[in-house]
Amino acid sequence: MNEAEELLDALFEAVVSGNVQKARKLAEKAVGRGLSPDVALEKMAEAMRVVDRKYERKEYFIVDVASSASAMREAFKILQSDVQVKPTNVTGKIVIGSLKGNIQSMGKDVVAAMLRAAGFQVVDLGVDVSPDAFVGTVLREKAQIIGISISVDETVPFLKEVVDRLRQESLRDRVKIVIGGRAVSEKTREEYGVDAYAKDAWDCVRKVRNLLDQQKVTSQAD
């Protein structure tokens, strides 16, 4: 095993064990050694999948999951300045947040940082965001996209309220919705009439870029 692999494995273990200080130091070391931040982020995402499985098997409690998420978040803060995302030529503003009942911010934070790195304007509403807050912010900020993170199954139905509120404001044709998180899928997108489902942060950047491209073409045609 070479030095880079050892470093990645150590970062993996730091996230799984929720060791915030160690994760931060290893991220700094990774940057100093010129290790690809994309590779490091993928390793940490793999670690969080292990944490999720441990939680499902009741080997971990919610406090353990929170510790692991904090470790990943701190490491990501170090890595994000070096993340290589293709800059976008399409200007756009995205309102992002974790839907009402969702208090986990790790995945949403990573997505928000990736979107900013790609050159988009991002309004981050945080966690436990109501449908009214999403739509009210879109109106105030004149945003084109809503990005919604959902990690709790029971809260998925609140998506319908977001879609309905956009329709009430006559915004549904102009404002697109992207969803992501472990409680949703492509099937959820179809069921609720959402515009796109993103499987991870990189996919979200692609989906947002595509939706804004489509909006630009539509507005030019009009």
In this predicted structure, the answer to whether residue 85 has a pLDDT above a threshold of 60 is: no
Pair 32, 140 in one domain: no
Instruction: Supply the pLDDT for residue 221.
Output: 56
Whether residues 77 and 103 fall in one domain? no
Question: Does the model's pTM come out above 0.85?
Answer: no
Give the model's pLDDT for residue 81.
65
Domain boundary among 82, 108, 143: 82
Could you tell me the CATH number of the domain that includes residue 57?
1.10.1240.10
Out of 112-121, 159-168, 200-209, which region has the weakest mean confidence (pLDDT)?
A: 112-121
* Mean pLDDT lowest among 42-51, 92-101, 116-125, 191-200: 42-51
Q: Is residue 126 part of a domain?
A: yes
Query: Cα(196)–Cα(68) distance, rounded to whole angstroms?
Result: 28
Domain with residue 203: its CATH number is: 3.40.50.280
* pLDDT given for residue 54 in this prediction: 86
Same domain flag for 118 and 173 = yes
**Residue 138 belongs to some domain of the structure:** yes
Give the Cα separation of 129 and 149 in Å (integer).
10
Q: Decide if 88 is inside a domain.
A: no
Q: Are residues 59 and 105 in the same domain?
A: no
Same domain, 62 and 113: no
The C-alpha torsion from 86 through 138 and 188 to 76, rounded to 10°, is 40
Q: Do 209 and 88 form a contact (C-beta atoms < 8 A)?
A: yes
Q: What percent of the chain has pLDDT over 90?
A: 53
Kindly report, residue by residue over 120-130, the tens digit of the pLDDT: 899 999 999 99
Instruction: Identify the residue with better confidence: 215 or 18.
Output: 18
pLDDT over 70, % of the chain: 92
CB 220 within 8 A of CB 203: no
Q: For residues 65 and 150, state if they share a domain.
A: no
* Measured CA distances, 137 to 73, 122, 129 (Å): 25, 12, 11
User: Across all residues in the chain, what is the average pLDDT?
Assistant: 88
Condensed to tens digits (0 to 9), the pLDDT of residues 150-198 reads: 999 999 999 999 999 999 999 999 999 999 998 999 999 999 999 999 9
Contact residues for 181 (Cβ-Cβ < 8 A; gap 6+): 98, 102, 107, 108, 148, 149, 150, 151
How would residue 216 be classed by pLDDT, with cut points 50, 70 and 90? confident
Q: Is residue 87 in some structural domain?
A: no
The domain total for the chain is 2
pLDDT value at position 18? 93
Q: What is the average per-residue pLDDT within 135-145?
A: 96
Domain check: are 117 and 211 in the same one?
yes
Host domain of residue 210: 93-221
